[in-house]
Structure 1
Amino acid sequence: MRVLTVNLGRPKAVEYTDAPSGTTGIDKRPAGGPVRVADPGRKGEGASGLAGDTVCDLRHHGGTHQAVYAYAREDLDHWEAELGRPLANGAFGENLTTTGLDVNAALIGERWRIGGSVVLEVASGRVPCRTFADWLGERGWVKRFTERAAPGPYLRVLEPGEISAGDAIEVVHRPDHDVTVELVFRAYMGRRELLPRTLAAGDALDPELREAALKYAAGRPS
């Protein structure tokens, strides 16, 4: 289990984003050397957890619980075959392209040590948006991505440090529940009856998702 590439995005003006700036940082490219990783601060104020990476819409992205986004090379390979086109590392806007690890089976609250110092904790799964769909230019992309339910996880930074391509990933903690990234994604993306199950992840679950699950469990609109 290791990091293939660490990917960073620069702001790019596009017509299809609804970000106030009119820009997006989804086009991420592999960095040439070590990248500093740290908690960026709360959502709406903090951006990416990776130095040199751009988050252009702080309303919906970035912050402590979306500090780092990981996607598996194995899942990119699946989409390459299905779409019939090459997908470079970083093509899905991921910060870390991994190999050897089923990132969608990761548990909420699971912790990864990467390299010598960085510890990340799984917080949620990625939610597809208009920018993602238009960036790929695939018809019905949000529906297709949702049906496969392999979103890749967002992670928070517990211990800062540097990450480089080739760094080993070690799972150093797996919590005692069965709430996976895939389960949380399915619950949030339409399978609302699954929302109460996600509460077993406790405070490790992204607070916005936890609030939605609590409202559903209480019979209130979420």
Structure 2
Amino acid sequence: MKIVATNIGERKEIDWKGKIVTTGIFKFPVDKPIFLDVEKVKDDAICDREHHGGIDQAVYAYSENHYSYWKELYPNLDWEYGIFGENLTVSDLDESQLHVGDTFKVGGVVIEVTKPRQPCMKLGVRFNDMKIVKQFWQQDLPGVYFKILQTGFVKSGDEFEQIKSCPQNPTIVEVYKSKKEGKGM
């Protein structure tokens, strides 16, 4: 696994069908290293602290490999890394192979796999189509949240070096499927 893009977003207010939605999901690639802090990515907007950021969701990563699937469904979007709200776009990130507790050194940080992303309506706002939320739930391509065990900078090109493996724990896909079942999907 390797970082192909680091993405940052600003606080943005969107008029969504007559209602103002405040979000930080509009993330775009940056050409400089980003700092992964204990509860968030420095300089990245988090507008809903109840559902984003915090110890177990300090940084969100999404697989570059998943982009081709979504591009077929949404060919008319202006596709840039960060469109899923991820801070890190990562090559070869496979949620079916990552176990809760797996730990990696990447760049100047040490990160630990914690949980999958659960899509919300703000993903629909970002895609300008609420169908994406249900479609996202129907696929086992959720991306991964990480806890930051050692803060520091990461940049495009940094490779993930696994330093701890937890095969006894569920994979991110297994956790995601159990959350879907809990929601009756």
TM-score normalised to structure 2 length:
0.90
Query: Distance between the aligned counterparts of 2:83 and 2:156, measured in 1?
Result: 16
Q: Does 1:119 pair with 2:119? A: no
Q: Does 1:33 pair with 2:32? A: yes
Moved over 6 A (4+): none
Q: Which residue of 1 aligns with 2:164?
A: 173
Q: Is contact 1:72-1:98 (8 Å) kept?
A: yes
CA shift for structure 1 position 178: 4.7
Q: Deviations over 1:178-198 (max 9, x none)?
A: 5111111111122579xxxxx
Q: Deviations over 1:36-61 (max 9, x none)?
A: 11102xxxxxxxx2111010111221
Structure with the higher fraction of residues in strand conformation: 2
Relative contact order, higher structure (CA 8 A, sep 6+): 2
Structure 2, unpaired ranges of 5+ = none
Residue type of the alignment partner of 1:126: R
CA shift for structure 1 position 136: 0.8
Q: Deviations over 1:145-204 (max 9, x none)?
A: 1111210011110011110111111122111315111111111122579xxxxxxxxxxx
Measured on the aligned residues, the alpha-carbon RMSD in Å equals 2.2
Q: Which residue of 1 aligns with 2:134?
A: 143
Residue type of the alignment partner of 1:97: T
Q: Which residue of 1 aligns with 2:81?
A: 89
Query: Distance between the aligned counterparts of 1:16 and 1:61, measured in 2?
Result: 20
Query: Distance between the aligned counterparts of 2:113 and 2:16, measured in 1?
Result: 29
Q: Is contact 2:109-2:150 (8 Å) kept?
A: yes
Give the count of matched residue pairs: 182
Cα 1:104/1:51, change in 2 over 3 Å: farther
Residue type of the alignment partner of 2:6: V
Percent of aligned positions with the same letter in both sequences?
A: 31
Q: Is contact 1:16-1:131 (8 Å) kept?
A: no
TM-score normalised to structure 1 length:
0.76
Cα 1:183/1:192, change in 2 over 3 Å: farther
Q: Does 1:128 pair with 2:119? A: yes
Cα 1:84/1:123, change in 2 over 3 Å: same
Q: Is contact 1:65-1:155 (8 Å) kept?
A: yes
Q: Which residue of 1 aligns with 2:9?
A: 9
CA shift for structure 1 position 103: 3.6
Structure 1, unpaired ranges of 5+ = 41-48, 194-222
Residue type of the alignment partner of 1:35: I
CA shift for structure 1 position 30: 1.0
CA shift for structure 1 position 8: 0.4
Q: Is contact 2:99-2:167 (8 Å) kept?
A: no
